[in-house]
Chain A
Amino acid sequence: MTIGVLDLQGDAQHHATLLESLGEVVRPVRGPRDLEGLAGVVLPGGESTTLSLLLESAGLFAPLAEALAGGLPVLGTCAGMILLARDVLDGRSDQRTFGAIDLTVRRNGHGRQIASFECDLDLPIAGAGPIHAVFIRAPVVERVGPDVEVLAVLPGGTGPLRPEPVACRQGRVLVTSFHPELTEDRRLHEVFASMVRGDLATTATP
């Protein structure tokens, strides 16, 4: 079972290291052929404008969209969440997304780097005990579709939804607005690995 990590730009290395430490086989994804035979894929943090451009030029956008529509399990963190969302606010007009999860997200909704922060969050699906979450120029979830399950919230919050959803799942799509890969805590990646193996009951399919 091989999990791909999109490796065009951004924080692919930390995702790969965490997944490998869980015993998963990881393959960097830089072109369409790298998608063959994948059991799951990770869209890491990075700059979503750059990533969407590079996905297009690498010829990856269409085959990845098709794979996601076909039910390929995916984890998207920060920019990865933006790429997977149905609607993006404050993005570039030419920015394309996969629309794999029924969310509306606002790019850089938490503000500029000076507002980036870290905190502990409850993430019941990953087990007891808080998970440490690092938010870097993070997007804000402003609308959650009826088939989307909210897995973690930020007390208070920034956008119109209070508390603010920061981890969500719909079918085989798992997204976070924070960066689980920047900590040593592997539990969110364990949840994703379970989704890939099909051990974890999924909610409504996308």
Chain B
Amino acid sequence: MVDPAGEHTRNGTERPTGTFTVKRGLAEMLRGGVIMDVVDAEQAKVAEDAGAVAVMALERVPADIRRDGGVARMSDPSLIEGIKDAVTVPVMAKARIGHFAEAQVLASLGVDYIDESEVLTPADEAHHIDKWVFGVPFVCGATTLGEALRRVSEGAAMIRSKGEAGTGNIVEAVRHLRAILGDIRAVTQADPAERYRWAKDLAAPIGLVQEIADSGRLPVPLFCAGGIATPADASLVMQLGAEAVFVGSGIFKSDDPTRRARAIVEATAHFEDAALVAKVSTGLGGAMAGQEIDALGVRLAERGW
């Protein structure tokens, strides 16, 4: 992946900041961890105490956005400042798809990662944010390999499979992870001529398709979001090939957020150890109430292209 801004000359200094290497580097450090949605400093502390590798600041958790409706926007800066002061782990925050002014505000607040997120109401139906012009890294959601590569081509340094946020239902996360990873495996089998057809079909840059064909993986870490509600859900998506998990409503909409958060952290770290997942799943109290996908009024994953 070549940073069009120039990997080693950005800022014109010998100690460049905001390069693609340092953006992707933070994503690499979060691997095997759990990033938790929080709406205020108090929840952020619960998340950090439970072992979250990062917290995601947003106005309302997805389940509440779904229930209340209306336009969902970036958080109030005072809440983000409060969360930054409360924890030592990286703080991420969500901006609306295409809303580069919200992203500029979040960057000025010094957040560590910006999530250009379909969970908020999109601000632009045709254009995502040009992420290369920012020094702060971005994560974006994707449902397919083509969507993931379009986001990477715009400068995203981390991809998360979208799933269906706020449902407590893992089925869409599994669908999106399998779609992305299955197509990566297929691309590695393509001969040189077939790579061009893949690029056309995926509506993705040929350079990125060739990179995947050679490496067998996305150029940036692939995390999983949208519907994780139990330790076994985390183990499932990690075994399918996710490199870390985002948990939104699943924690703070459950009966015992502190214990559930901790259990999901343990299950993500030890995702291959079924006995351990069984142990941490025991007696957690009720998980968030889930929803059938067919019963949903709004499909968040359909936002973005």
Which A residues fall within an 8 A CB radius of B? 7-14, 30, 45-47, 49-50, 53-54, 57-58, 78-79, 90-92, 107-108, 112-120, 134-137, 179, 182
B48 contact set on A, CB distance < 8 A: 49, 92
Known: A9-B53, A107-B88, A137-B90. A118 touches B19 (CB 8 A): yes
Interface size on B, residues (CB 8 A): 38
Q: How far is the CA of A164 from the CA of B219 in the complex (A)?
A: 32
Q: Is A10's CB under 8 angstroms from B29's CB?
A: yes
Task: Name the residue among A7, A9, A58, A112 with the largest chain B CB count within 10 angstroms.
Answer: A9
The smallest beta-carbon distance between B237 and chain A, in angstroms, is 16
Q: Which B residue sits closest to A133, measured CB to CB?
A: B15
A137 — which chain B residues lie within 8 A by C-beta? 26, 29, 90, 112
Establish whether residues B110 and A46, one from each chain, have CB atoms under 8 Å apart when the complex forms: no
In the A-B complex, list the 3 residue pairs whose CB atoms are closest, starting with the nearest: A113-B112, A116-B22, A9-B32
Smallest CB separation, A142 vs chain B (Å): 16
If the complex has contacts A47-B29, A113-B112, are A8 and B269 also in contact, measured as CB distance less than 8 A?
A: yes
Compute how far the CA of A45 lies from the CA of B22 in the bound complex, rounded to whole angstroms. Answer: 13
**Contact (Cβ within 8 A) B54 A47:** yes
- Specify which of B18, B21, B30, B137 is in contact with A134 (CB 8 Å cutoff): B21
The reply to whether A136 and B52 contact each other, CB–CB distance below 8 Å, is: no
Are B15's CB and A117's CB within 8 A? yes
Q: How many A-B residue pairs have CB under 8 A?
A: 119
What's the nearest-Cβ distance from chain A to residue B41, in Å? 15
Q: How many Å lie between the Cα of A13 and that of B51 in the bound state?
A: 20
Query: Given that A10-B32, A92-B88, A182-B25 are contacting pairs, would A115 and B17 also be in contact in the complex, using a CB cutoff of 8 Å?
Result: yes
> Do the beta carbons of A91 and B19 come within 8 Å of each other?
no
Beta-carbon nearest neighbor of B134 in chain A: A114
A67 to B214, CA, bound (A): 40
Structural contact, B32 and A117, CB atoms closer than 8 A:
no
> Does B89 belong to the interface (CB within 8 Å)?
yes
* 16 CB < 8 A contacts A-B: A8-B270, A9-B31, A10-B33, A46-B33, A49-B88, A53-B51, A54-B51, A54-B269, A58-B269, A79-B29, A107-B88, A114-B17, A114-B110, A118-B16, A134-B21, A136-B22
Rounded to whole Å, the gap between the CB of B73 and the closest CB of chain A is 23
Q: Is B172 an interface residue (CB 8 A)?
A: no
CA distance A56 to B117 in the complex (A): 35
Task: Given A78-B29, A107-B88, answer yes or no on A54-B15 (Cβ-Cβ < 8 Å).
Answer: no
Quick one: given A9-B33, A118-B15, A137-B112, are A14 and B88 in contact (CB under 8 Å)? no
Contact for A114 among B14, B30, B107, CB less than 8 A:
B107
Residues in A whose Cβ lies below 8 Å from that of B88: 49, 90-92, 107-108
Q: Are B265 and A112 in contact (CB under 8 A)?
A: no
Distance in angstroms between the alpha carbons of A148 and B90 in the assembled complex: 30
A113 to B158, CA, bound (A): 14
**B53 proximity list for chain A (CB < 8 A):** 9, 46-47, 50
The verdict on B211 contacting chain A, using a C-beta distance below 8 Å, is: no
- B25 & A49 in contact (Cβ 8 Å cutoff): no
Contact A113 B107 (CB under 8 A): no
Q: Is B113 an interface residue (CB 8 A)?
A: yes
A50 near B31 (CB under 8 angstroms)? no
